[in-house]
Structure 1
Amino acid sequence: MIRFALALPFAAALALAGCKEKPAETPTDAPMQAGAQRMVAPVLLTPDAKDIHSYAVPAEARVTHVALNLTADFQQKILYGTATLHVAAAKGAKRIILDDKGLEIVSVRSRSGEPLRWQVGEGDDMLGRPLEVELAGADRIVIEYRSAPDAAALQWLTPEQTAGKRHPFLFSQGQSILNRTWIPTQDSPGIRQTWEARIVVPAPLKAVMSGEALTPEGEPAGEGKRAFRFRMDKPVAPYLIALAAGDIAFQSLGPRTGVWAEPVTLKAAANELHDTEKMVDAAERLYGPYRWGRYDMIVLPPSFPFGGMENPMLTFLTPTMLAGDRSLTSLIAHELAHSWSGNLVTNATWADFWLNEGITTYIESRIMEALYGPERAQMLKSLGWEDLQNAVRDAGGAAAPATQLHLDLKGQDPDEGMADIAYEKGAAFLRTIEAAVGRERFDAWLRSYFDRHAFQPITTRLFLEDLRANLIKGDTALEKKLQLDAWAYRPGIPSNAAAPVSPELEKMAAAAKAYGPETSPDALGFNNWGTQERVRFLNALPRDLGTEQLQRLDGTFKLSQTRNSEVLFAWLRLAIANRYDPAVPAIERFLTSMGRRKFVEPLFRDLLAQADWGRPIAERVYAKARPGYHAVTAGSVDALLKPAEEEAAKAEKAG
């Protein structure tokens, strides 16, 4: 049996997985808590679980539940109201420390209304500042506050920035440490919290959140407003508390699945997500029951910075996955897989981000295989392996510390660890274990892993302990064969990794290699290929093609006009590498019509790499595009442009 340093010394009963408590009523959450039972999650207090990206000191006092009562002001671009925090404090503890970034704190009181002393300490631009509250024996604290108009987690869109062009839109994106810009809580993935919320928005709009909707149609809140109530009675990492509000409608996809979207997008979204219910069934057959009730999704406006975000019960999605042919639905398989790895069992700190994404990427391929067959799954794995090689190269080579799974993020924004290393090296690690022990045995272990650690945080050390105790079981030959510590703690790709090979994609690579000035694009069969084949072909083409060859490709296959974002992205990277001027309008159109960081950041990097040709294009397009980007994407591109601007200034000065 694995040893867990889970229990808080002051609340041993609460540290038992599955322990329940019924919270007492507070002024803000009484209507929502009637009859509700919620779990209180354990907290890891081991050295490897210390979160350097939070000011919280959970050994003294920790948040177990958050009750929000907030109003969205679209004119001022703020959320204002109260957060009532349920606190479990050690005997004799006099304070609780929360995370705060840019919040305007109005007051802090006990549940009986008595003022509590508080102060905001010194901090920095990355982490924000510690909010210290003197408890004076209080087990609830009520914080009245306002978010800042530039809160990094929140994006306020004008009607013109939405698909429908009629109403404004608001959405949040909290991963990794951004929710502290709109919720005063302990913003650490290892301090799981249940939550509830009452959100007031202008009457034409609807609000949705990553929890159970208690009032799906809302209720009158005076002055042309409506209030929507939500509840999450299972402990989640605080970055998974998510909100969206806008002109949205819902369409059911099955008994427990459905999609929200702007009305003009809803039909296309529902068609693209047609197989979601089947995906849930396939995932359950592999890894046990889906424990969150419903699995709904919302397709957000194009500025959403990620492909998807696995917010429990309501995955947030980019419209760039709406290809029209369901060819990009591996994204849904990925976000659904997070319902087990990431949401059910969560990395305790961002140094172990791979425990979320690597396991999820592995499960994604298993879901895709179950639904669409091994050939398509093998293509996805092969493309992922290619992404891994590129990520290792971009990180500085196989000896670079950034190519480890367990990262040292001291002094770094945890966002910097969210690279393909965590996703693809993590998935390759699990595939290596599966190959060594056999799929049946590995599946049994992985399913039991989710059961053992359900609703708990995990570290790399504990993950490896679980492997050794419940899968390897003292088999020294197997231990040596797996190279567990090399995978987890050392840079590069271990020698026992096997590259996934897709025969179909190998044909695409060969076709790209053979493509020359005399090749007729019509003879390629491009229009009969799927998305993965097209992407592989475009990525494998030489970066020094002539203008005439590019013109033939673009003219024959209408690459600059394609609706498939993955194919368009691959084409534009090829065009930029060749300084292909006819593609510049498509580059500008793509970069100003969506804000998905996966596409935006590499394209700007590619433009800047083309110096005298690409930098002017990058600067011109970014000036136009930046106001529509979420802070996550804008921050990444800002970091690219600043060194480029400094280098250009130096060159000008030297000249």
Structure 2
Amino acid sequence: MKTKNNIPSQLIALILAMTLFSQCNSHKANEPMNTVIKDNHSYANPSESIVTHLDWTAELDFEKHIIAATAKLTLDNTPQVKHVILDTKGLNIVEIKNQDGETLNYELKPEDPILGSALLIEIDPETTEVSITYQTTPEAEALQWLTPEQTQGKVKPFLFSQSQAILARSWIPIQDSPGIRFTYTAEVTVPRDLLPLMSASNPVEKNTTGTYHFEMKQPIPAYLMALTVGDIDFLPLGQRSGVYAEPSMLEKSADEFEGLENMIAAAEELYGAYRWDRYDIIVLPPSFPFGGMENPRLTFATPTIIAGDKSLISLVAHELAHSWSGNLVTNATWDDFWLNEGFTVYFENRIMESLYGREYSEMLAMLSLQDLKAEIIEISATNPADTHLKLNLDGRNPDDGLTAIAYDKGYFFLRLIEETVGREKWDAFVKNYFNTNAFKVMTTEEFVEILQRDLIDENTVGLDSTFYQQWIYGPELPANCPQPVSNKFDNVEKALSNWQENHDTVTLDSSYGSSQWSTHEWLHFIRLLPENYGIEEMTLLDDAFDFTNSGNSEIFALWAVQIISNQYEAGYPNLEKFLVHTGRRKFLTPLYKELIKTEEGTEMARAIYQKARPNYHSVAYNSIDALLK
């Protein structure tokens, strides 16, 4: 059944329900936001009491691996309020007081393995602040305390946080929902030979006291709370950008990101002003579990993107794009995660196209489509509903939604709209979408309503109700998925056929230009290798191109799958070294999955993991624990 607006009838109730949500979203950037969106991954009661500001005071103990802190929360209450409910996980609460210094009664509920413990604090409508004095534990899931040996410099310890999706509650008692935004200030004390940084205004050098002050004026959700501390130096890259890293990594990192200001300018040209004042990057130790994390003002980045030739900086474009999609307009719940990531992958590709041309961005899109198709097959075998864009993660860890579906299926859905209505109209819509909804939250249903009203109803396009149904609420990949085209990849496919025939590196270069190939072309080449390639063929390839010793993490990680599947023993030492010293989950998961396909590989995986696990963040080792259980 269709309505006159071409919205599926089953969406009508959801869209009508957004009336109250839209009223909640009418606030200005720094005003309280009494959202009533139900978030199954938070205990918070924002319809009764909502946090609008955090003032955080903390002292870090690198010997005990704990943070002793006070979180003073500013509240906006309804007249009926009796409690404010916060999310916590593994926190030791010392005392709780109100703005007058009066001790408040509280109850810490039993801990759920995923959600942690609800902290119920008795308040009345006149309670404008609660101050919680507490300590974290060494097991806090968001925090990874590194020994000096686990750093690049090998001399001083290091700490970094990873709060997404629901781990902020393991180091701050907060309403840990993406639908709740607040501003914050902080005073952080660390050993005097270390420098702390946050997702806020940051220092650029160490001081003599060890105490530092931070401010985030723009309201953010809790998952964007970030802290890192270490032997860190800074180099500026422009008037509003720079890079932080351990001293031995700083020059190399600055060289890799030297075009950052151009990237920011390209993003602004597409979709409007950058609203976070500065855009800095910190290159973290290799145990960081993701490629990057879009913490406002300070992107956290893995050192695995420092390839020496700027070939992997699309990841920076991705994290920069989050300054609009995700940080500026945020998914209301983790079931709507595709709104963050689908838009970001789309925006990333447009930035790369603007800087490096359509051919380059189409290679990225083709690799994304390959990844997406492979992941759809894998997910569909166990839970087809997880291939929908709109997810149902109730009762599950929201990390289960961190798949290629949100990222790449979301991207191709948005690309389909662009190709259907035309780029000019689509760009105008997206720019208006970011501006109109800045510092607000968004559900899938409200996005459908906005899309219908502001774009599709204004144009005659070939999109009907099945369009939304198939892409957002349907499984797998619809037949009308856009198909990227890359002449460079066609050339790679011809080159591989030639290699199979004569194993001649000279011909491969003279006829197909292999010596000038980008990382993406080599990735396509390796992906096309036949199954069960064989030791002899692997050896010939490795002798010719030295994949086993590649300093490019993307190339080696893909080649390592071939090392495992073909039992190429010459590659085992580097495989083990990579698994032990690299904590990026994107690389770890497929390699461990490939290892456990055989009994011999499973034994190898467990032996390597015993050495590697202490180097992994909880986000990574929780995933690998489940694989090797």
When normalised by structure 1's length, the TM-score is: 0.90
Instruction: Trace 1:36-185 onto structure 2 (pairs within 5 A).
Output: 39-40=30-31, 42-45=33-36, 49-136=37-124, 137-185=126-174
- Identify the residue that residue 17 of structure 1 maps to in structure 2: 27
Is this contact kept in 1: 2:205–2:234, CA < 8 A? no
Secondary structure at the residue paired with 2:60?
Answer: strand
Q: 1:500-515, aligned counterparts within 5 Å?
A: 500-513=484-497, 515=499
1:385 shift after superposition = 0.7
| Contact in 2 for aligned 1:513/1:540 (Cα 8 Å) | no
2:249 aligned partner: 265
Residue 503 (structure 2) aligns with: 519
Aligned counterpart, 1:186: 175
Instruction: Report deviation, 1:347.
Output: 0.2
Stretch of structure 1 that moved more, 502-511 or 593-602: 502-511
| 2:182 maps to 1:198 | no
Cα distance in structure 2, aligned partners of 1:211 and 1:485: 40
The answer to whether the Cα contact below 8 Å between 2:283 and 2:303 also exists between their aligned partners in 1 is yes
1:554 and 2:542 correspond = yes
The 2-side partners of 1:362 and 1:184 are apart by: 34
Which digits, 9 at most, give the CA deviation of each residue in 1:570-600, with x for residues without a partner?
Answer: 1111111111111111110111111000001
Q: Which residue of 1 aligns with 2:417?
A: 433
Q: Are 1:442 and 2:426 an aligned pair?
A: yes
Matched, 1:616 2:603: yes
Question: Partners of 2:344 and 2:279 in 1: how far apart?
Answer: 16
Give the 3-state SS of the residue equivalent to 1:93 in structure 2: coil
Deviation at 1:40, TM superposition (A): 2.6
**Matching residue's letter, 2:138:** P
| 1:484-540 Cα distance to aligned partner (Å, 9 max, x none) | 232111111122212212121122234335543742344323433110000000011
CA distance in structure 2 between the partners assigned to 1:418 and 1:201 by the alignment: 33
Rate the CA distance shift 1:210–1:430 in 2: closer, same or farther, 3 A.
same
Tell me if structure 2 keeps the 8 A contact 1:342–1:357. Answer: yes
Whether the aligned pair in 1 keeps the contact of 2:39 and 2:333 (CA below 8 Å) is yes
1:295 equivalent in structure 2: 279
Q: CA deviation at 1:471?
A: 0.3
**2:315 alignment partner, one of 321, 331, 339:** 331
Q: CA-to-partner distance for each residue in 1:595-628, whole Å, 9 max, x for gaps?
A: 000001110111111x123111101110000001
Report SS of the residue matched to 1:353: helix
- In structure 1, the residue matched to 2:240 is 256
What residue in structure 1 maps to residue 357 of structure 2?
Answer: 373
Q: Which moved more, 1:489-498 or 1:457-466?
A: 489-498
CA drift at 1:480: 1.4
Out of 355, 361, 364, the position equivalent to 2:345 is 361
How far, CA to CA, are the matches of 2:417 and 2:32 in structure 1? 29
2:480 is aligned, of 496, 507, 513, to: 496
Contact 1:513/1:541 (<8 A) preserved:
no
Residue 585 to residue 621, structure 1, CA distance change in 2 (3 Å): same
| Distance in 2 separating the partners of 1:218 and 1:202 | 10
CA–CA separation in structure 1 for the residues paired with 2:297 and 2:474: 36
> SS of the residue aligned with 1:545?
coil
- Which deviates the most, 109-118 or 488-497? 488-497
Deviation of 1:17 after TM superposition, in Å, equals 2.6
Match of 1:603 in 2: 591
Q: Contact 2:421/2:459 (CA < 8 Å) preserved in 1?
A: no
Alpha-carbon distance between aligned partners in 2 of 1:111 and 1:633, rounded to the nearest angstrom: 40
Aligned to 2:532: 544
1: CA distance, partners of 2:612 / 2:107: 38
Give unmatched runs, 5+ long, in structure 2: 6-14
* Alignment partner, residue 652 of structure 1: none
Tell me which of 549, 574, 585 is aligned to 1:586.
Answer: 574
**Partner Cα separation in structure 2 for residue 469 and residue 8 of structure 1:** 17
Look up the match of 2:468. 484
Deviation at 1:237, TM superposition (A): 1.1
**Residue identity opposite 2:623 in structure 1:** S
1:474 shift after superposition: 6.2
Give yes or no for contact 1:279–1:367 (8 Å, CA) kept in 2. Answer: yes
In structure 2, what is the Cα distance between the partners aligned to 1:321 and 1:368? 16
Q: What SS class does the counterpart of residue 230 from structure 1 fall into?
A: strand
Could you tell me how far apart the structure 1 residues matched to 2:436 and 2:240 are?
25
- Percent identity over the alignment is 45
Distance across 1 between alignment mates of 2:344 and 2:532: 36
User: Could you say which residue in structure 2 is the equivalent of 1:405?
Assistant: 389
Q: Secondary structure at the match of 1:535?
A: helix
Indicate which of 341, 345, 350 corresponds to 2:325.
341
**Residue 227 (structure 2) aligns with:** 243
Q: Is the 8 A contact 1:250 1:258 kept in 2?
A: yes
Provide Cα deviations, 1:319-345, integer angstroms capped at 9, x if missing partner: 000000000010000000000000000
**How far off is 1:8 after superposition?**
8.9
Write the letter of the residue equivalent to 2:227.
Answer: L
Match of 1:636 in 2: 623
- TM-score relative to the length of structure 2: 0.94
User: What code does the residue aligned with 1:274 have?
Assistant: E
Amino acid at match of 1:578: N
Report the 3-state secondary structure (helix = DSSP H, G, I; strand = E; otherwise coil) of the residue aligned with 1:298.
Answer: strand
Hey, what's the Cα distance between the residues in 1 that align with 2:207 and 2:576? 43
Take 2:16 and 2:218, find their aligned partners in 1: how far apart are those partners?
Answer: 24
Task: Supply the distance in 1 between the matched residues of 2:470 and 2:17 (Cα, whole angstroms).
Answer: 23
Q: CA deviation at 1:15?
A: 6.1
Taking the aligned partners of 1:358 and 1:243, their CA distance within structure 2 comes to 26
Please report how far the alpha carbon of residue 421 of structure 1 lies from its aligned counterpart in structure 2 after TM superposition: 0.8
CA deviations on 1:633-653 (whole Å, 9 max, x unpaired) are 0011001001xxxxxxxxxxx
Check conservation: 1:15, 1:41, Cα contact below 8 A.
no
Q: 1:397 offset after TM fit, Å?
A: 5.6
Which residue identity lines up with residue 496 of structure 1 in the other structure? N
**What's the offset of the Cα at 1:133?**
0.2
Deviation at 1:479, TM superposition (A): 3.3
Aligned residues: 611
Q: How far off its partner does 1:545 sit?
A: 1.1
Residue aligning to 2:516: 528
* Cα distance in 1 for residues equivalent to 2:249 and 2:383: 46
Cα distance in 2, alignment partners of residues 427 and 475 from structure 1: 21
Contact preservation (8 Å) 1:236, 1:343: yes
Which letter does structure 2 place at the counterpart of 1:97? Answer: I
Rounded to whole Å, the distance in 2 between the matches of 1:502 and 1:353 is 29
Please give the secondary structure, in 1, of the residue aligned with 2:463: helix
* Structure 1: segments with no counterpart, 5+ residues: 20-38, 643-655
> Can you list the C-alpha shifts for 1:527-573, whole angstroms capped at 9, x where unaligned?
33110000000011012112111111112211111110011111111
Q: How does 1:469-480 map to 2 (within 5 A)?
A: 469-473=453-457, 478-480=462-464
Instruction: Give the AA of the match of 2:72.
Output: T
Confirm or deny: 8 A CA contact 2:25 2:440 kept in the other structure.
no
Contact 2:503 2:540 in 1 (8 A): no
The answer to whether the 8 A contact 1:218-1:229 is kept is no
Do the aligned residues in 2 keep the contact of 1:7 with 1:43 (CA within 8 Å)? Answer: no
Distance in 2 (alpha carbons) for counterparts of 1:269 and 1:475: 46
Rounded Cα–Cα distance in structure 1 between residues aligned with 2:379 and 2:161? 29
